[in-house]
Structure 1
Amino acid sequence: MPTSSVTTTALADYDPIDPDGQQAAPVASSPTAETKENRPARGSEYAVLLRRVRQAGLLDRRLRYYVWKSAVTAVAFAAGWAAFVMVGDSWWQLVVAAFLAVVFAQFAFLGHDAGHRQIFAGRQANYLFGVIAGNLGIGVSIGWWVSNHNRHHAHPNTEGSDPDVMGVLAHSGDRARTGKGIRRLIFRYQAWLFFPMLLLEAGSLHYASVRAVLRWAIPNRVWEAALLAAHAAGYLAAVFLVLSPGKAVVFIAVHQGLFGFYMGCTFAPNHKGMEVLAEGESADFLRRQVLTSRNVRGGRVVDAAFGGLNYQIEHHLFPSMPRPNLRRAKPMVEQFCVELEVPYCETSVLDSYRQALSHLHAVGRLAGPQSSAVADSRPD
């Protein structure tokens, strides 16, 4: 879960493609950020792939795509709230809540793309788009999210460095064995608890966002805090003015629960059940990204539902690549991995969940008393 305390990396300091044309991690504004020495060297295997991708024009901005995508999402957002007002004080509002949960997730995907500078060439334009979609639109701080997400991209599935594997779940046997009290109990039954806990994901995102703007030295924290407050005030005012108190509470629970559940279901296939790296483990950039990531096949419906995150391997190799180009980059990356004999993992949606849950179950057994089970860090 994304509530781990992390050292802040400014959005302005994140440059997915550095001036030398090499893929870069966040610059070293935090103790765990990668330095120049850790970035792929000119002439490396990754640099060969990068040149092929750049020559194919796959790193070029796709502004027209994002214009229509943003417009469609904004219209859906407005239509959802218009329907909310028209339906009035009725239990049919739970249908509206489910619809708005999907729309909020689509806004989150757009905020994700802006955070990676996929939409515009300049930092400030992406940041402005991000705070509108994230802070104002769905109540999630773009400044907090970028600082957290940068660490994940720099050290995917790496214990002690990736905040996404240091949350409420255990992803390795070593961590499962160290659990105590309620944490040990969660580790033990984490495969069974995983989907129910996703209903709390939106609350976790909101809590982490508020904590960040109050306690962290993120850029523009006053501006971000004001937009978060505006979102909360507008959201709560609309819900409680239209609905009776009981219905309002149920609406919020259903809407936020489904929003978090949807987001969690798009995150789960990406890395869970893939290789988990020990802190300080050495691996070159390309293998670190490919071996810890999983793609999900399924065509354009899955592309839309997952916000492009189903191309997780390509996204991790080229974070600033515009979302619609990921599909085109996939055959090129897959062929390159074949050339290098690097395993390239792709599976169906259902099998991705099976692999993730199997891994969580195997690791969770190690948190139980007198357990001698051995958990493999790779999918079955």
Structure 2
Amino acid sequence: MTVIVIAYLAAWLLFALVGDSWLQLLVAIVLAVVFAQFGFLAHDLGHRQVFRTRSSSDVAGLLFGNLAIGLGWGWWNTKHNRHHANPNHEDHDPDVSPAVIVFSADQVGRSTGLPRFVARYQAYLFFPLLLLEAWHLHVASVKALLKPSARRRWPELGLLAAHFAAYFGMVFAVLPPGKAIVFLVVHQGLFGLYLGCTFAPNHKGMPVLTKEDKLDFLRKQVLTSRNVRGGPFMDIALGQLNYQIEHHLFPHMPAPNLRLAQPIVQQYCAEIGVSYLQTGLFASYRQALGHLHEVGAQLR
């Protein structure tokens, strides 16, 4: 937490010092990485991995999510917990709902409008669409908090408003309108791309469950998840979500301990005959994109 807060403040200080220059696009790249790291920490806070008390986790989550990077932490956390309860279940997991991308042949058959149009070539469009992911999360956060039923509605909206006021105010105060808009496009585009590239290897291309599938907790979590090997660098780059199987089995376990649990879980799965998938990063993308391309085949 200390390291990424220092990196966050240092990146904005660098932005102010560079001033009116196209070199700001390099700063945008740095800020995209820092924003994503804040997202990883907000994720861990949502799982109560960091503090002993719920109140401390909530306060830190709102500061790291809403105030620092402009994402509605409470809304996202609720959605993410639904994903954990039923990963890759087409009826219950919001992460495989066919909003734009479709994930199964059944979803293709039921799709209309934009998802049906995109599904034909969604494997090719997947990474370009991720450039819009950060903007989607910002808009979805505000829309969710505008509903009267939203928890902590006004505190979260206030923190989001403070973020957007400071963010856009800083960018347009330092840069002329043209450069400011390019900076926003690059920063938010790469921020969304980084987040998407982190979450895509975890479940995309793994079995999609339906109401016909009756699995126990362990199999439901393990068979729908994929680990990504790669060592310490990969741990940092993917926010330690590369240990996705262990994270789904023990969502409250602090992220640094997942690598210690990994060999135990892998050995146990081998003993009871449960498939445990671990692959390299590029192989995980190849599997995910191959699945999306196969799903859209009937429309081509």
The alignment's TM-score, normalised by the length of structure 1, stands at 0.78
The one-character-per-residue Cα deviations of 1:175-220 (angstroms, maximum 9, x if unpaired) are 1122233321201111010000000000011011101111152321
Find the aligned partners of 1:367 and 1:318 in 2 and give their Cα distance: 39
Give unpaired runs (5+ residues) of structure 1: 1-69, 369-380
Q: Name the CA distance, whole Å, in 2 between partners of 1:178 and 1:225.
A: 35
The residue identity in structure 2 corresponding to 1:240 is F
Using the alignment, how far apart are the partners of 1:297 and 1:217 within structure 2?
A: 41
Aligned residue runs from structure 1 range 173-322, under 5 A: 173-215=105-147, 217-279=149-211, 281-322=213-254
Q: Give matches, 1:64-103, under 5 Å.
A: 70-103=1-34
In structure 1, what is the Cα distance between the partners aligned to 2:185 and 2:211? 38
Letter in 1 for 2:7: A
Partners of 1:358 and 1:216 in 2: CA distance: 41
Cα offset, 1:121, TM superposition: 1.4
Largest Rg, 1 or 2: 1
How many pairs align?
Answer: 299
Match of 1:150 in 2: 81
The aligned residue for residue 122 of structure 1 is 53
Distance, in Å, in 2 between the alignment partners of 1:312 and 1:223 is 32
Q: Is the 8 A contact 1:152 1:162 kept in 2?
A: yes
Are 2:258 and 1:365 aligned? Answer: no
Report if aligned partners of 2:200, 2:288 keep a CA contact under 8 Å in 1. Answer: yes
The answer to whether the aligner puts 1:133 opposite 2:61 as a matched pair is no
Q: Which of the numbers 232, 252, 260 marks the counterpart of 1:328? A: 260
Instruction: Give 3-state SS (helix, strand or coil) of 2:146's partner.
Output: helix
Residue of 334, 340, 348 corresponding to 2:272: 340
Instruction: Check conservation: 1:189, 1:364, Cα contact below 8 A.
Output: yes
Q: 2:91 is matched by which residue type in structure 1?
A: G
- Residue 106 of structure 1 aligns with which residue? 37
Regions of 4+ moved over 3 Å: none
Instruction: Measure how far apart 1:280 and its partner are.
Output: 5.4
% same residue: 58
1:286-325 CA distance string (max 9 Å, x none): 0000000000000000000000110000000000000100
**Does the 8 A contact of 1:179 with 1:367 survive in 2?**
no
Determine the C-alpha separation between the residues in 2 that align with 1:216 and 1:249: 33
Q: Is the 8 A contact 1:177 1:366 kept in 2?
A: no
> Could you state the TM-score of these two structures normalised by the residue count of structure 2?
0.98
Residues 62-107 of structure 1: CA deviation (Å, up to 9, x unaligned): xxxxxxxx01000100110000000001100000000000000000
Give the Å deviation of 1:367: 2.8
Q: Could you tell me how far apart the structure 1 residues matched to 2:73 and 2:142 are?
A: 11
Gaps of 5+ in 2: none
Asked if the contact 2:100–2:114 (Cα under 8 Å) also holds between the matched residues in 1, the reply is: no
Q: What secondary structure is seen at the aligned counterpart in 1 of 2:170?
A: helix
Distance, in Å, in 2 between the alignment partners of 1:151 and 1:73 is: 28
Superposition RMSD in Å: 0.9
Tell me, yes or no, if the aligned pair for 2:72 and 2:160 is still in contact at 8 Å: yes
Whole-Å Cα distance in 2 between the matches of residues 310 and 181 of structure 1?
34
**Contact 2:25–2:186 (8 Å) recurs in 1:** yes
**Structure showing the higher helix proportion among its residues:** 2
Distance 2:222 2:114 in 1: 34
Amino acid in the other structure paired with 1:266: T
